């Protein structure tokens, strides 16, 4: 089942069911007006939404043309947004860039932080920052992070990893925007991210795990995650590779001391596929090439050449993030955002 939220001028938009080929949609207002309303009554709403999806796919409902640019984020705002970082190579490079060693505790349980969930950017919504933030010298170091996240129903406190997997109801594609030059100062204070993590953006379609068949196994989703900057291929990655912790383990860690409300969003952090290829060169058929963020490429350039050559994003740059499944179809639709100054 594939769900999206159309921009109807309200804060939370209107929930729709999308056809399996991403070409048509039908309103779901008779079942649930918004995505959060569906999650609040998920046990009741899910079978009705699935029945509606079947009718759309077999042609009992004609549907309307689905236009990604007309969508908000699947959940335009959420009660809980937690961002983990479970790709080993990414953590090694980011800690190294700050002159820190990898904490031994990382191998015991996931690193996770709570993010701002009051507003998420739509898949075609620009990344807007003040002019001084986008300066190439002395700016905020605007970066993207191509990531996968899951949306859960109600997760009880103390849920174990196996049980946690059963609470995953939808998978989404996200751009966790990061202001790299603001990170060290916040980390140094010992309280984590705030100014360095503005609103994240989401691809238009949220997808149930069963839609992916064998691509979804053990709390990991395989596929080709494609990232371009200004039409240049930057990364061709496989999110199932190199995860130190799967989504079940991440959710269990998040729910260790609290309940997670229905509609909680949990990200695995920037995808990173280790040392298979250094740089966005020859694509590999099933991912594992290039980068899902600029900071990693800059760190590898520093290792190889003694200095970074790739700049962070600035006014006019366009980031495109999309994942394709084993059939070559866009799994979630695309995130495509232009950077604009205020």
Whether 10 and 104 map to the same domain: the answer is: no
Whether 194 and 240 map to the same domain: the answer is: yes
Residue 59 has pLDDT above 70, yes or no: yes
Instruction: Give residue 136's pLDDT.
Output: 82
Residue-wise pLDDT for 220-261, tens only, equals: 999 999 999 999 999 999 999 999 999 999 999 999 999 999
Measure the CA–CA gap between 51 and 261, rounded to whole angstroms: 25
Whether 160 and 265 map to the same domain: the answer is: yes
Q: What is the mean pLDDT of residues 187-196?
A: 85
Indicate whether 74 belongs to any domain.
Answer: no
Q: What is the mean pLDDT of residues 292-312?
A: 89
Measure the CA–CA gap between 192 and 282, rounded to whole angstroms: 36
Whether 94 and 52 map to the same domain: the answer is: no
Confidence of residue 287 (pLDDT cuts 50, 70, 90): low
Indicate whether 76 belongs to any domain.
Answer: no
Could you tell me the residue range of the domain that residue 110 belongs to?
Answer: 81-341
Whether 226 and 90 map to the same domain: the answer is: yes
Residue-wise pLDDT for 143-158, tens only, equals: 999 999 999 999 999 9
Instruction: Give residue 138's pLDDT.
Output: 79
CATH number at residue 176: 3.90.850.10
Instruction: Give residue 107's pLDDT.
Output: 77
- Its sign, for the CA torsion 43, 44, 49, 54, is positive
Decide which of 15, 33, 66 is a domain's last residue: 66
Whether 60 and 114 map to the same domain: the answer is: no
Query: CA angle 173-179-180, nearest 5°?
Result: 105
State the residue for tokens 């691809």: 203
Measure the CA–CA gap between 231 and 332, rounded to whole angstroms: 19
Whether 175 and 289 map to the same domain: the answer is: yes
* Total tally of structural domains belonging to the chain: 2
Whether 57 and 92 map to the same domain: the answer is: no
Provide the mean pLDDT of the chain: 92
Residue 5 has pLDDT above 90, yes or no: yes
Residue 285 has pLDDT above 50, yes or no: no
Residue 183's CB is within 10 A of a number of other CB atoms, namely 22
Q: What is the mean pLDDT of residues 68-74?
A: 98
Indicate whether 71 belongs to any domain.
Answer: no
Indicate whether 302 belongs to any domain.
Answer: yes
Indicate whether 171 belongs to any domain.
Answer: yes
Measure the CA–CA gap between 149 and 227, rounded to whole angstroms: 17
Residue 277 has pLDDT above 50, yes or no: no
Indicate whether 52 belongs to any domain.
Answer: yes
Q: What is the mean pLDDT of residues 262-290?
A: 70
Using DSSP's 3-state secondary structure scheme, residue 329 falls into coil
Indicate whether 72 belongs to any domain.
Answer: no
Residue 62 has pLDDT above 90, yes or no: yes
Whether 222 and 334 map to the same domain: the answer is: yes
Whether 37 and 85 map to the same domain: the answer is: no
Instruction: Give residue 212's pLDDT.
Output: 96
Query: Minimal CA–CA distance to 265: which of 34, 71, 13, 79?
Result: 79
Can you give the pTM of this predicted structure?
0.93
Whether 53 and 127 map to the same domain: the answer is: no
Q: What is the mean pLDDT of residues 101-112?
A: 81
Instruction: Give residue 100's pLDDT.
Output: 66
Instruction: Report the b/e string of 14-37 with b at 16+ CB within 10 A.
Output: bbbbbbeebebbbbbeebbbbbbb
Residue 45's CB is within 10 A of a number of other CB atoms, namely 17
Instruction: Give residue 88's pLDDT.
Output: 82
Residue 76 has pLDDT above 60, yes or no: yes
Whether 99 and 52 map to the same domain: the answer is: no
Q: Are 22 and 329 in contact (CB under 8 A)?
A: yes
Decide which of 66, 93, 118 is a domain's last residue: 66
Instruction: Give residue 223's pLDDT.
Output: 95
For residue 94, the number of C-alpha atoms closer than 13 Å in the C-beta half-sphere is: 25
Indicate whether 193 belongs to any domain.
Answer: yes
Instruction: Give residue 96's pLDDT.
Output: 62
């Amino acid at each position: 089942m594939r769900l999206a939220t159309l921009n109807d001028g309200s804060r939370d938009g209107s929930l729709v069911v999308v056809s399996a080929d991403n070409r048509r949609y039908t309103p779901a207002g008779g079942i649930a007006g918004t995505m959060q309303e569906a999650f609040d009554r998920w046990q009741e709403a899910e079978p009705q939404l699935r029945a509606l999806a079947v009718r759309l796919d077999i042609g009992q409902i004609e549907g309307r043309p689905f236009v990604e640019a007309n969508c908000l984020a699947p959940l335009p705002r959420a009660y809980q947004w937690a961002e983990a970082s479970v790709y080993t190579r990414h953590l090694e490079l980011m800690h190294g860039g700050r002159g820190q060693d990898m904490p031994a505790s990382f191998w015991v349980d996931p690193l996770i932080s709570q993010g701002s969930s009051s507003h998420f950017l739509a898949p075609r919504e620009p990344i807007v920052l003040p002019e001084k933030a986008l300066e190439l010298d002395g700016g905020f170091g605007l970066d993207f992070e191509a990531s996968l996240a899951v949306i859960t129903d109600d997760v009880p406190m103390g849920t174990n990893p196996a049980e946690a997997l059963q609470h995953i109801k939808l998978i989404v594609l996200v751009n966790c925007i990061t202001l790299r030059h603001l990170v060290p100062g916040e980390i140094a204070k010992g309280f984590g991210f705030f100014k360095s993590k503005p609103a994240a953006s989401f691809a238009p379609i949220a997808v149930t795990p069963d839609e992916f068949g064998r691509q979804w196994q053990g709390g990991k989703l395989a596929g080709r995650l494609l990232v371009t900057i200004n039409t240049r291929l930057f990364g061709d990655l496989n999110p199932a590779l190199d995860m130190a912790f799967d989504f079940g383990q991440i959710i269990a860690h998040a729910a260790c001391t609290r309940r997670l409300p229905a509609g909680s969003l949990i990200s695995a952090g920037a995808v990173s596929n280790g040392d298979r290829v250094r740089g966005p060169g020859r694509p590999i058929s099933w991912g594992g090439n290039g980068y899902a963020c600029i900071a990693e490429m800059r760190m590898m350039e520093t290792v190889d050449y003694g200095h970074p050559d790739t700049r962070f994003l600035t006014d006019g740059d366009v980031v495109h993030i999309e994942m394709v499944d084993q059939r070559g179809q866009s799994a979630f639709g695309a995130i495509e955002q232009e950077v604009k100054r205020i």
